[in-house]
C-alpha cells in the first residue's frame, strides 16, 4: 500500500502544489482546508483521482482522519499581511490550536509531522542574511505579531512534541515564494504588481521601495520541502532563494516584463513593522538536503506571468 499524507491548507497556493507533488510521487493524499483563503479551483483537477480525498474542515477544531497516516504537512494559515490583518484571531488559532490538534493526530497515527514555519520568525531582522540560529526581532503586539508569534509558538510546540513525546518532526522556514495559484488579490507584492501592470494601473510601491525581499519559485520550494520531509533533520531549515532585490527594482522588472505602457509606479505608505531586509542563508539546506534553487527570477517570473495573464481580467 502506498504511503498516505495529510496536507492542511490543501486548497491554498503552497498546499495545492504540495498535493500535486505527492500525488505525482505515488502517495495517497488527504487534503484539508476550511477555504477561508484557499480556492477549490487550485485542486479541482485532483478530485477525479482515486488517490485524492478532500475534507472541508477548520483544523483549529478537533481533527479526525480515519485510517492510517504516514505524514502530516501543516500548511493551513492565512499567509499574507492583509489576510492576517483581516483575520488576526483565526491566524493565531490555526498556528497554535491547529498545530496542537495536528501534533496530537500525528502522535496517535505514528505519523511524521512537518510544519510550515516562516522567515517571519526573524521579524525585522538585525542579522542579514538570516541563518537558522538567529532568534529574530519580532514585535509581538504589532499588526504582524499575530502571524509571527503564532508561527514561533508553532515551532516551540512542535519541538516540545519532539523532545517530550519523541514525535518525528520537521520544520521548514519558508521565505517569500511565488508562482501560479497565488491569489490575485491577496495583497502580496507579486500578485499586486502583476495585476496592476496587466490592468495598466499604478504599481503600489510601499515606502520608498528600498526594502528588500528574496523570491523563490514555488517548484524549488516544493522540492526543498519534499527533501526535508524525507531527511533526518528535526531542526528548522530555511528554504528560499537568496537572490535579493529591492521592491522598487522589482516593480521595474514587472513593468518591463508586462510592457503595458499605461502601467507606472506610485508610492503608498510603508505598512507598520514591514521588514527592511530579508534574505535566507541556505547553507544548511545545501549541506543537509543537497538542495538549492534551480529557477532564476527571470524563468520563474515568465511562468508566473503566463498564469496571471489568464486570471487577471484586463480592463477594456
When asked if residue 189 is in the footprint of ligand UDP (CB under 6 A), the reply is yes
| Residue 164 burial (10 A CB sphere; 0-12, 13-18, 19+) | exposed
Q: Which stretch binds ligand UDP (CB under 6 A): 11-19, 188-196, 226-234, 235-243?
A: 188-196
Nearer Cβ to ligand UDP, position 256 or 316?
Answer: 256
Bridge partners, 205 (sequence order)? 267
- Catalytic residue selected from 147, 178, 217, 226: 147
Nearer Cβ to ligand UDP, position 100 or 213?
Answer: 213
Find, among 243, 246, 245, 262, the residue nearest to 202 by Cα: 262
When asked if residue 153 is in the footprint of ligand UDP (CB under 6 A), the reply is no
The binder of ligand UDP chosen from 8, 60, 176, 241 (CB under 6 A): 176
Round to whole Å and give the CA distance between 98 and 170: 16
For residue 197, the minimal CB distance to ligand UDP (Å) is: 11
# binding residues, ligand UDP (CB under 6 A) = 15
When asked if residue 121 is in the footprint of ligand UDP (CB under 6 A), the reply is no
Q: List Cβ neighbours of 163 (8 Å cut-off, separation of 6 or more).
A: none
Nearer Cβ to ligand UDP, position 234 or 264?
Answer: 264
Round to whole Å and give the CA distance between 169 and 102: 12
Q: Which stretch binds ligand UDP (CB under 6 A): 10-18, 66-74, 268-276, 305-313?
A: 268-276
Round to whole Å and give the CA distance between 24 and 243: 29
When asked if residue 174 is in the footprint of ligand UDP (CB under 6 A), the reply is no
Q: Catalytic residue at 147?
A: yes
Residue 134 and residue 101 in contact, taking contact as beta carbons nearer than 8 Å: no
When asked if residue 195 is in the footprint of ligand UDP (CB under 6 A), the reply is no
Nearer Cβ to ligand UDP, position 101 or 304?
Answer: 304
The mark string for 197-226 relative to ligand UDP (x by CB under 6 A, - otherwise) is -------xxx----x-x-------------
Nearer Cβ to ligand UDP, position 104 or 143?
Answer: 143
The binder of ligand UDP chosen from 14, 23, 69, 192 (CB under 6 A): 192
Find, among 213, 193, 216, 238, the residue nearest to 296 by Cα: 216
The mark string for 227-256 relative to ligand UDP (x by CB under 6 A, - otherwise) is --------------------x---------
When asked if residue 279 is in the footprint of ligand UDP (CB under 6 A), the reply is no
The binder of ligand UDP chosen from 42, 80, 96, 304 (CB under 6 A): 80
Nearer Cβ to ligand UDP, position 107 or 248?
Answer: 248
Q: Which residues are catalytic?
A: 147
Residues found near ligand UDP in the complex (CB under 6 A): 80-81, 176, 188-189, 192, 204-206, 211, 213, 247, 270-271, 274
Amino acid at each position: 500500500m502506498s504511503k498516505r499524507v495529510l496536507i492542511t491548507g490543501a486548497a491554498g497556493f503552497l498546499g495545492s502544489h504540495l498535493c500535486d507533488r505527492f500525488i505525482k510521487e505515488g502517495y495517497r493524499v488527504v487534503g484539508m482546508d476550511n477555504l477561508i483563503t484557499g480556492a477549490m479551483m487550485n485542486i479541482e483537477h485532483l478530485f477525479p483521482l482515486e488517490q485524492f480525498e478532500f475534507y472541508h474542515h477548520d483544523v483549529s477544531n478537533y481533527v479526525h482522519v480515519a485510517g492510517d497516516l504516514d505524514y502530516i504537512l501543516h500548511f493551513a494559515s492565512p499567509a499574507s499581511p492583509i489576510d492576517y490583518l483581516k483575520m488576526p484571531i483565526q491566524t493565531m488559532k490555526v498556528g497554535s490550536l491547529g498545530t496542537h490538534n495536528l501534533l496530537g493526530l500525528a502522535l496517535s497515527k505514528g505519523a511524521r509531522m512537518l510544519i510550515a514555519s516562516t522567515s517571519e520568525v526573524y521579524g525585522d531582522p538585525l542579522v542579514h542574511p538570516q541563518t537558522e540560529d538567529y532568534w529574530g526581532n519580532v514585535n509581538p503586539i504589532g499588526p504582524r505579531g499575530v502571524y509571527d508569534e503564532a508561527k514561533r509558538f508553532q515551532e516551540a510546540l512542535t519541538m516540545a512534541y519532539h523532545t517530550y513525546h519523541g514525535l518525528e518532526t520537521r520544520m521548514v522556514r519558508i521565505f517569500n515564494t511565488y508562482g501560479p495559484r497565488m491569489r490575485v488579490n491577496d495583497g502580496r507584492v507579486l500578485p499586486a504588481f502583476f495585476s496592476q501592470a496587466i490592468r495598466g494601473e499604478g504599481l503600489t510601491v510601499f515606502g520608498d521601495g528600498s526594502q528588500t525581499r528574496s523570491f523563490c519559485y514555488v517548484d524549488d520550494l516544493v522540492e526543498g520541502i519534499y527533501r526535508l520531509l524525507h531527511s533526518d533533520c528535526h531542526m528548522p531549515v530555511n528554504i528560499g532563494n537568496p537572490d535579493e532585490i529591492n521592491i522598487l527594482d522589482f516593480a521595474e522588472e514587472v513593468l518591463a516584463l508586462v510592457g503595458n505602457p499605461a502601467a507606472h509606479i506610485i508610492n503608498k505608505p510603508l505598512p507598520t513593522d514591514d521588514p527592511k531586509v530579508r534574505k535566507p542563508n541556505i547553507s544548511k539546506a545545501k549541506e543537509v538536503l543537497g538542495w538549492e534553487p534551480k529557477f532564476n527570477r527571470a524563468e520563474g517570473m515568465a511562468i508566473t506571468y503566463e498564469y496571471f495573464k489568464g486570471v487577471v481580467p484586463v480592463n477594456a
